[in-house]
């Protein structure tokens, strides 16, 4: 049983801890930080969250099924780029943060955040098995006064139709014995302005007390917490955020292709439209979308909508355009090969950037990876990449290593360099100067003098 004794906890005659589920008592314990936080799933979302609580001096226990992550943390090692390694080492050393694969520690925790992946199946249907499995583990240790907060992005109804019934198998009731809410994550890896503490967050509980207690917990580490009426509103607003991005990126990706045909530069168009001080927000074209969110999440809603005979046309159309972009980039590359005295088989292609977006080490569903796969499928034998964040990857089941260093000599070996991810550490002057031809899918060379001669820009409208 729990080692830590809280002022509000009573010991029964059997010496077992008796936890209060009284919301007023819980609220006062939250406000005085007399609680233990549990975080299930220590990835891009879970570990920063756990470290944020631990850095406040609140005892925090991280739980994950990945032994490598747990042993790294136990040794004080950080594996998430966005958080400070010193903070992780410090929290582990002073024991505010601990990590384990053993779910029985849930009994010791007062709050349990669930931050596990929500991928899709090969047919692009939601796979909430990680939520289900982790909830089943939490349910084994569910006790009075527990506050469970689901953070994984998912379709409306997951909290009440999937998580709640699992937690209540042993008869406990949300809002009475324990508390349950959905509070979506907004972390944006690589964003140096907006981080966990200063990004407002939304919370929707299954009852008023579930919401109030979950808001209070989040307020310990987040400046602004917005309560909504139900978990479904919170689930849906997260999907709206991501679908909003997906649809707008798709729009500009489609217009980029049109601009290529009619000889208008889409980048100049977006820049010009951005001068409107209201009613316009710039989005930029690119080689496609990736990561664990914007590509996947819209499919969660379109799958759910089918259950009520509803077709989410915007989502489907946006997915169609965004997922066609790596194919469009492939056609740009193949057109360029056709202009050079080299065959497809012998052409040496260098992809610059393999991560799904700038300055991150996240490869999940990266459009660059898709471009590499498509080139290999077309019979190209010499496709290489350079990405300081991704030293090694697998393309079509084959291990491939990044080129070691971005140097003039390395660039000169290739027939075409393709900027697939616009990492800020890339020296674009050098890339343009020492490459034979550059295909720029991100407008990364816009400030390089003389770039026009060598650079083929996606959506530049060159006839």
Question: What is the SS3 string spanning the chain?
Answer: CCCCCCCCCEECCCCCEECCCCHHHHHHHHHCCCCCEEEECCCCCHHHHHHHHHHCCCCEEEECCCHHHHHHHHCCCCCCCCCCHHHHHHHHHCCCEEEECCHHHHHHCCEEEECCCCCECCCCCECCHHHHHHHHHHHHCCCCCCEEEECCCCCCCHHHHHHHHHHCCCCCCECCCEEEEECCCCCCCCCCCCCCCCCCEEEEECCHHHHHHHHHHHHCCCCCEEEECCHHHHHHHHHHHHHHHHHHHHHHHHHHHHHHHHCCCHHHHHHHHCCCCCCCCCCCCCCCCCCCCCCCHHHHHHHHHHCCCCCCHHHHHHHHHHHHHHHHHHHHHHHHHHHCCCCCCCCEEEEECCCCCCCCCCCCCCHHHHHHHHHHHCCCCEEEEECCCCCEEEECCEEEECCCCCCHHHHHCCCEEEECCCCCCCCHHHHHHHCCCEEECCCCCCCCCCHHHHEEECCCCCC
Instruction: Check: CB of residue 354 under 8 Å from CB of residue 421.
Output: yes
Asked if 304 is part of the footprint of ligand NAD (rule: CB under 6 A), the reply reads: no
CB of 244 to ligand NAD, least distance (A): 14
* Binding segment toward ligand NAD, per CB under 6 A, in 21-29, 42-50, 163-171, 417-425: 42-50
CA 306 to chain centre: 25
Closest CB to ligand NAD among 285 and 291? 291
Q: Which residue, chain included where needed, has tokens 């001068």?
A: 275
**Region 112-151 residues binding ligand NAD, contact defined as CB under 6 A:** 115-118, 130, 133-134, 151
Asked if 69 is part of the footprint of ligand NAD (rule: CB under 6 A), the reply reads: yes
Closest CB to ligand NAD among 162 and 407? 162
Asked if 456 is part of the footprint of ligand NAD (rule: CB under 6 A), the reply reads: no
**Region 182-201 residues binding ligand NAD, contact defined as CB under 6 A:** 185, 187, 189
Query: What CA–CA distance (Å, rounded) separates 290 from 359?
Result: 14
Site string for ligand NAD, 14-33 (x = CB under 6 A): --------------------
Query: What CA–CA distance (Å, rounded) separates 369 from 30?
Result: 45
Q: Which position among 41, 204, 205, 288 is part of the footprint of ligand NAD (CB under 6 A)?
A: 41
Closest CB to ligand NAD among 240 and 338? 240
Query: What CA–CA distance (Å, rounded) separates 283 from 287?
Result: 13
CB of 116 to ligand NAD, least distance (A): 4
* Binding segment toward ligand NAD, per CB under 6 A, in 24-32, 44-52, 327-335, 415-423: 44-52
Out of 91, 106, 259, 293, pick the active-site residue: 293
CB of 423 to ligand NAD, least distance (A): 17
Quick check: is 109 catalytic?
Answer: no
Closest CB to ligand NAD among 114 and 411? 114
Instruction: Check: CB of residue 315 under 8 Å from CB of residue 175.
Output: no
CB of 290 to ligand NAD, least distance (A): 11
* Binding segment toward ligand NAD, per CB under 6 A, in 2-10, 57-65, 206-214, 381-389: 57-65
CB of 72 to ligand NAD, least distance (A): 11
Query: What CA–CA distance (Å, rounded) separates 341 from 320?
Result: 34
* Binding segment toward ligand NAD, per CB under 6 A, in 65-73, 270-278, 314-322, 326-334: 65-73
CB of 131 to ligand NAD, least distance (A): 8
Q: Tokens standing for 395?
A: 């393309």
CA atoms within 13 A on the CB side of 83: 30
Closest CB to ligand NAD among 67 and 409? 67
Closest CB to ligand NAD among 288 and 459? 288
* Binding segment toward ligand NAD, per CB under 6 A, in 64-72, 85-93, 210-218, 345-353: 64-72
CB of 46 to ligand NAD, least distance (A): 6
Closest CB to ligand NAD among 88 and 116? 116
* Binding segment toward ligand NAD, per CB under 6 A, in 181-189, 330-338, 341-349, 407-415: 181-189
CB of 189 to ligand NAD, least distance (A): 5
Closest CB to ligand NAD among 184 and 459? 184
CB of 81 to ligand NAD, least distance (A): 11
Residue nearest to ligand NAD (CB): 43
Active site residues: 293
Residues forming the site for ligand NAD (CB under 6 A) = 40-46, 63-66, 69, 115-118, 130, 133-134, 151-153, 185, 187, 189, 292-293
């Amino acid at each position: 049983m729990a080692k830590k004794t809280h002022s509000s906890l009573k010991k029964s005659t059997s010496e077992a801890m008796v936890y209060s589920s009284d919301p007023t008592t819980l609220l006062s314990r939250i406000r005085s930080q007399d609680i233990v936080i549990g975080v299930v799933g220590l990835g891009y979302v879970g570990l920063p969250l756990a470290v944020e609580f631990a850095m406040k001096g609140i005892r925090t226990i991280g739980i994950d099924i990945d032994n490598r992550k747990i042993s790294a943390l136990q040794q004080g090692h950080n594996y998430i780029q966005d958080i400070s390694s010193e903070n992780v080492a410090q929290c582990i050393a002073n024991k505010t943060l601990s990590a384990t694969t053993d779910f029985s520690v849930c009994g010791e925790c007062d709050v349990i955040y669930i931050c596990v992946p929500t991928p899709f199946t090969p047919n692009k249907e939601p796979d909430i098995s990680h939520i289900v499995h982790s909830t089943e583990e939490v349910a084994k240790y569910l006790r009075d006064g527990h506050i469970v907060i689901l953070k994984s992005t998912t379709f409306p109804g997951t909290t009440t139709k999937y998580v709640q019934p699992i937690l209540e198998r042993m008869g406990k009731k949300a809002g009475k014995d324990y508390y349950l809410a959905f509070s979506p994550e907004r972390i944006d890896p690589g964003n140096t302005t907006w981080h966990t503490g200063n990004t407002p967050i939304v919370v929707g509980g299954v009852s008023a007390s579930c919401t109030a207690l979950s808001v209070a917990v989040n307020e310990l580490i987040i400046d602004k917490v917005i309560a909504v009426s139900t978990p479904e509103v919170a689930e849906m607003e997260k999907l709206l955020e991501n679908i909003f991005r997906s649809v707008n990126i798709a729009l500009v990706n489609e217009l980029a292709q049109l601009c290529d045909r009619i000889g208008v530069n889409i980048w100049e168009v977006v820049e010009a439209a951005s001068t409107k001080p209201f009613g316009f927000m710039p989005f930029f074209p690119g080689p496609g979308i990736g990561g664990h969110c914007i590509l996947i999440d819209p499919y969660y809603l379109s799958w759910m909508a089918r259950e009520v005979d509803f077709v989410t046309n915007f989502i489907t159309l946006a997915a169609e355009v965004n997922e066609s972009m790596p194919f469009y980039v492939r056609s740009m590359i193949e057109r360029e090969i056709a202009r050079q005295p080299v065959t497809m088989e012998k052409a040496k292609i260098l992809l610059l950037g393999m991560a799904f977006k700038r300055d991150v080490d996240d490869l999940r569903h990266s459009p660059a990876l898709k471009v590499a796969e498509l080139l290999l499928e077309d019979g190209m034998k010499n496709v290489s990449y350079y990405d300081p964040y991704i030293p090694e990857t697998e393309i079509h089941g084959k291990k491939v290593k990044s080129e070691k260093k971005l140097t003039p000599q390395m660039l000169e070996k290739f027939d075409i360099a393709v900027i697939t991810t616009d990492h800020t550490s890339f020296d674009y002057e050098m890339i343009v100067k020492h490459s034979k031809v550059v295909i720029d899918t991100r407008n990364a060379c816009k400030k390089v003098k003389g770039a026009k001669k060598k650079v083929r820009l996606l959506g530049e409208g060159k006839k």
